[in-house]
Amino acid sequence: MTATTTHPKPAPTPSKLDPKRALMRVDNLAVSFDNGSGPRIQAVDGVRMSVYPRQTLAVVGESGCGKSVTAMSSMQLVPRPPGRFDRGRIMWGGQGVDIDLLTLTEQQMRQIRGNDIAMIFQEPMTSLNPVYTIGDQIIEAILLHQNVNVNEAVEIAVEAMNDVGIPEPRERIKAYPHQFSGGMRQRVMIAMALACQPKLLLADEPTTALDVTIQAQILELLRDLQTQRDMAMMLITHDLGVVAENADVVCVMYAGRVVEYANVFELFSNPMHPYTRGLFASIPKMHQRLDRLVTITEVTENPKEFEKLPGAQEGVRPWWPWHDPPKDLAPSDEPAGDYYLQEVKPNHWVGVWRTEAVEGHKSRAPDLDYRIVDDPSRQKPQTDA
């Protein structure tokens, strides 16, 4: 980044958050939407995940699997109606005590939005208002969340624009969204989200609409800002390359459920659910020249892939919404029905059928305080140079 500093920046304040305490915990969340005369659309159905301070949790999965709805639920930004929270809690630990974000009033939620949790939306152009200048919009976000006057808000906005690498922020603050390129608009969104120094950033496909070079710049920028500010991030993406480069922990979703959850190294080296294995099989590898790549459906449509879960005990089989439940399914009155998210080996969870082998298994919810920066086995050796 070639940003020039416009005025002295306060040193980053060390986080007072306990690194061993989850910042946010999504616990059995289910969200559905009214579908006119048809049955309700169950967008999210028993999702569990957790984010720790300074951690990047990547949420991956195909279009429509419920990634955005999960993130927007934690900001209470799901439109209700047609949306409805059917069950579950989203516990926020950023204030020292756990509070359930789903129970907060709009007024209480406004305190959380921006101050504690900020979101970068999937579509920057639809999130920016075309009739207001960039500056007006960033300043409004600051005034809404911080106890400062307009002049102070202007200074914070200029600094935030500078931080995200927008050149000549004092001039550019007067421009309208259409006068910015896609990459610059995305930086404006990031500046707005970060102006209030949130503890958690929900970044919903922050780079999908951008070309590869700009994408890399934005992700690098997010990584830098995250380190400087001790911020946690939920990074929603389709792109496994982005996951490999940025995530500490990965949550793979399918059809409103979590199908796999592990730290990034474990997930990439030992994917267990056929859907995750299909995802990996469908990406090209440098050292392998193939005439054609395997598609995800070639894996998920192969019944053999679902007969057992390699590495798990007998009778534990990967859950899949389009399959008939297996014959050894155990009776269950759980709201999530036949699906169960089981810790099949330490710190590695897979969505499985609630079969007889699984009955009685009490899995802890996905919960990994793993961060690459804190992992001694992943540190580069120190050199004297």
Ligand X SMILES: Nc1ncnc2c1ncn2[C@@H]1O[C@H](COP(=O)(O)OP(=O)(O)OP(=O)(O)O)[C@@H](O)[C@H]1O
At 234 the three-state DSSP class reads strand
DSSP state of 373: G
Burial 97-115 (b: 16+ CB within 10 A, else e): eebebbebeeeebeebbbb
CB 347 within 8 A of CB 263: yes
Binding segment for Mg ion (CB under 5 A), chosen from 63-71, 78-86, 145-153, 283-291, is 63-71
Binding segment for ligand X (CB under 6 A), chosen from 61-69, 88-96, 101-109, 318-326, is 61-69
Q: Is 79 in the site for ligand X (CB under 6 A)?
A: yes
Q: Is 209 in the site for ligand X (CB under 6 A)?
A: no
Among 56, 68, 226, 355, binds Mg ion (CB under 5 A): 68
> Please, which residue, 83 or 124, has the CB nearer to ligand X?
83
Binding segment for ligand X (CB under 6 A), chosen from 63-71, 87-95, 179-187, 335-343, is 63-71
> What DSSP letter does each residue of 145-158 carry, written as one string?
HS---HHHHHHHHH
> Please, which residue, 87 or 308, has the CB nearer to ligand X?
87
> Please, which residue, 195 or 341, has the CB nearer to ligand X?
341
Select the binding partner of residue 66 from Mg ion, ligand X, none (C-beta < 5 to 8 A, by kind): ligand X
Angstrom CA distances, 20 to 12, 264, 369, stand at 21, 19, 6
Q: Give the torsion sign (CA, 177, 233, 48, 21).
A: negative
24-53 residues in contact with ligand X (CB under 6 A) are: 33, 41, 43
> Please, which residue, 205 or 369, has the CB nearer to Mg ion?
205
Of the CA atoms within 13 Å of residue 297, those in its CB half-sphere come to: 1
Q: How far apart are CA 195 and CA 162, in angstroms?
A: 11
Residue bearing tokens 């120094």? 197
Q: State the minimum distance, in angstroms, from the CB of residue 145 to ligand X.
A: 25
> Please, which residue, 36 or 284, has the CB nearer to ligand X?
36
Q: Is 371 in the site for ligand X (CB under 6 A)?
A: no
Q: Within the chain, what is the greatest distance between any pair of CA atoms?
A: 70
Q: How far apart are CA 303 and CA 289, in angstroms?
A: 27
CB 318 within 8 A of CB 274: yes
Q: Is 69 in the site for ligand X (CB under 6 A)?
A: yes
Among 12, 82, 96, 310, binds ligand X (CB under 6 A): 82
Q: State the minimum distance, in angstroms, from the CB of residue 312 to ligand X.
A: 27
Number of residues in contact with ligand X, rule: CB under 6 A?
15
In the complex, the residues that contact Mg ion under the rule CB under 5 A are: 68
In the complex, the residues that contact ligand X under the rule CB under 6 A are: 33, 41, 43, 61, 63-69, 79, 82-83, 122
